[in-house]
Amino acid sequence: MNRKSVALLILAVAVLVLMGIFASKNYLLFSFGFLIVTLGIYFWKFEKSNHNSREVVFIAIICALAVVGRIIFAAVPAVKPELFILIMGAIVSGPETGFLMGTIIALTSNMYFGQGVWTPWQMFGLGVIGLISGLMMNKNIPTWLLVVWGFASGFLLGWIMDVYYIIGFVNPITIKSIATSIIASFYFDFVHALFTAVLLWVVGKRWIRLFNNYKKKYDLFRL
């Protein structure tokens, strides 16, 4: 993991710590601050390297697909394709771009689902998943590894949101109350993880080839 990726994680954690200090009154401020910091790092990198404007279009397409997919499946709890789309996009574009796409997907989709103190936590969770997925860039990832990572990512996002719930709403915080909170969300995390894993198993490699062809055609995300 390179320095920029580490910097993104440190800044993201700092935002969540500030959220804990200043409670929930300024969640939108922190959400947009989170996005501005992420965008700032990405576009600083953008200006320092040989990127082109088509990459911005690619990011917008991935984010739009993920947001629309989340909205279409809104009526079915935990069955959401946004992790699958984010993972595919990040594998093609890299860790920093993956983090950026994750934060944008969370913030923009909550324009439909509703903003709240949970928004920065979702931005962080999806951002981390995008970052880790981006570390697979330019690697011949076997299907089984994609499936395992997709399944794990569903639980990773769920556990991050469990931390938000425990810190914000569980009192007193004990081993028993923590275990109860995690068990209560297990079904939804499992369904989300399983749905993501199945999508990656069925069409994951196909989407990667499709995105890589687009990447080569328009000369995107060169290292």
Q: What is the reported pLDDT for 166?
A: 80
Is 173 part of any domain? yes
pLDDT in tens, 43-82: 666 566 666 778 888 888 999 999 998 888 877 777 889 9
Backbone angles phi, psi at 26, to 5 degrees: -115, 40
Is 27 part of any domain? yes
Q: What is the reported pLDDT for 147?
A: 95
Q: What is the reported pLDDT for 163?
A: 80
Q: Tell whether omega for the bond before 172 is within 30 degrees of 0, i.e. cis.
A: yes
Q: What is the reported pLDDT for 30?
A: 66
Is 222 part of any domain? no
pLDDT in tens, 10-41: 766 776 666 666 555 566 666 666 667 766 66
Closest CA to 188 of 115, 109, 86, 79: 79
The sign one gets for the Cα dihedral 197, 87, 160, 67 is: negative
Separation of alpha carbons 113 and 101, rounded Å:
18
Are 192 and 79 in contact, with CB atoms under 8 Å apart? yes
Average of pLDDT values for 136-161?
91
pLDDT, mean over the chain: 82
Q: What is the reported pLDDT for 11?
A: 67
Domain count, the chain: 1
Domain that holds residue 108: 3-217
Is 162 part of any domain? yes
* pLDDT exceeds cutoff 80 at 219: no
Separation of alpha carbons 146 and 152, rounded Å:
10
Kindly report the CATH number assigned to the domain that includes residue 189: 1.10.1760.20
Is 18 part of any domain? yes
Separation of alpha carbons 159 and 165, rounded Å:
10
Separation of alpha carbons 221 and 223, rounded Å:
6
Is 223 part of any domain? no
